[in-house]
Amino acid sequence: MSNEIENAKQYINRLREINKDADKRTVYECIDRPIRKLIYHMNRIGIKTRFSCCGFPYDGEEEPKTHDKATYVQFYAPDKDKYDMFMKFVQDAQSSGFEISHFAGPIWIARCKNPIPDEYSKSDGIREAIHDYENQVRYIKIFEETLSRYPTSNRVFKIEDGNKQCKQFMEEWQVQPKKDAEFTVIDDLPKRVAGNG
């Protein structure tokens, strides 16, 4: 029983840390750094993201997140007028090491293909192995660079925290949403919109 109590305490402490200063930070600042540019490019080309995780721990994490070896991005299906771009996006995702599948309703998910063979084993007793993240970083970078060559959909766009919508519909939702991050794209270089530093 004491293990369960200790786990509950750790959970509450992690939740407090995630929610600390939620109204002062933008969602972009809280996206895992290894996947941040990918999320930027998805939103820049008109694919609105919802939730994401790089899938592995890294030094200097902005929030005490849990990672379970699954690099993923949840996103909303784009409008029908972007069908051709979306089909190209799906093909490029697959070529970059991601799988695209329907999640629920208008939500889709991009997941890194399993980069580590099941028979891969570690003998040091640490759950994460130093090499576990390598293919994920490679797939993220390939996909990010591919999307960086897509034309910009909107010169001004924002990235919203998926927790915002969840909190609106479910009072008990525990993660407080961060502020939207707004961008202006000039010559395909990101510039933050004034007032959203």
Block means of pLDDT (10 residues each) for the chain, 197 residues, are 86 90 93 96 96 91 80 93 94 96 95 67 62 86 96 92 92 93 80 52
The pLDDT assigned to 195 comes to 43
The pLDDT assigned to 151 comes to 93
Domain ranges of the chain: 26-192
The pLDDT assigned to 154 comes to 85
CB burial class (10 A; 0-12, 13-18, 19+) of residue 25? middle
Instruction: List the strands of the sheet with 156-159, edge to edge.
Output: 156-159, 181-186, 189-192
- Kindly report, residue by residue over 37-65, the tens digit of the pLDDT: 999 999 999 999 999 999 888 999 888 78
The pLDDT assigned to 3 comes to 87
Residues of 172-197 as b/e, b for ≥16 C-beta within 10 angstroms?
A: eeebbbbbebbbebeeeeeeeeeeee
- Distance CA(15)–CA(148), nearest Å, equals 34
Contact by Cβ (8 Å): 76, 64: no
State both tokens at 137: 């970083």
The pLDDT assigned to 116 comes to 60
The pLDDT assigned to 1 comes to 64
The pLDDT assigned to 194 comes to 45
Task: Classify the C-alpha dihedral 81-82-86-92 as positive or negative.
Answer: positive
The pLDDT assigned to 2 comes to 82
The pLDDT assigned to 184 comes to 92
